[in-house]
Amino acid sequence: MPFYESVIIARQDLSTQQVEALTEQMTAVVNDNGGKVEKTEQWGLRSMAYKINKNRKGHYFQLTMDAPAAALFELERQLRLHEDVLRSLSLRIDAIDMEPSAILVAKSSRDDRPRRDDRPRRDDRDDRPRRDDRPRFNDADAASESKGEE
């Protein structure tokens, strides 16, 4: 059987339990039609590039499956009928990669970075002289310099 990958965007107002239930429901559709879901990934609530049905964000999840074409057609039909699904995209792939997708790897590396409030603050820069301690440029000095040039 061929391998497929489906990315599904659900409405932003769903809870994580509802998104997990939707994932299980779509997994059951594939299993009932002779396929097998090899891997599921929850990508979480993400911003979209443009509004879809008045939604700026959506819950993304991915299903990677080994299924016949009939199972994929039924999955896509169920996704079109489901009112909580905003968009979906299914692709045929050569092989199933069991490692985490690039989205999850990037998300985990972003979590490893230090937080913004952990950085040093500007008021910690005491080694530099303050601006009011520097010599000031006077207009009288500028006038005397310009007369000397003539």
In DSSP terms, which residues pair with 92 in a beta bridge? 4
- How many distinct structural domains can be found in the chain? 1
Query: What is the rounded CA–CA span in Å between residue 63 and residue 76?
Result: 12
Query: Where does the pLDDT of residue 149 fall: very low under 50, low under 70, confident under 90, or very high at 90 and above?
Result: low
pLDDT tens for 64-100 read 999 999 999 999 999 999 999 999 999 998 888 777 7
Find, among 42, 43, 41, 32, the residue nearest to 73 by Cα. Answer: 32
Assigned domain for 131 exists: no
Higher pLDDT, 4 or 143: 4
Assigned domain for 119 exists: no
pLDDT at res. 21: 93
Cα 143 from chain centroid (whole Å): 60
pLDDT at res. 133: 64
Assigned domain for 66 exists: yes
Query: Where does the pLDDT of residue 116 fall: very low under 50, low under 70, confident under 90, or very high at 90 and above?
Result: low
Assigned domain for 142 exists: no
Q: Where are the beta strands (DSSP E) in 11-141?
A: 36-52, 55-66, 85-93
Assigned domain for 113 exists: no
Assigned domain for 69 exists: yes
Assigned domain for 147 exists: no
pLDDT at res. 114: 65
Amino acid at 73: F
CA angle 92, 61, 103 (to 5 degrees): 85
**Mean of the pLDDT values across residues 130-142?**
64
Q: Give me the torsion for CA of 68, 71, 76, 81, rounded to 10°.
A: 170
Residue 34 domain boundaries: 3-94
**Mean of the pLDDT values across residues 41-63?**
90
| Token code pair at residue 62 | 């991915």
Assigned domain for 65 exists: yes
Residue 41 belongs to domain with CATH number: 3.30.70.60
- In this structure, what are the phi and psi dihedrals at residue 13, rounded to the nearest 5 degrees? -85, 5
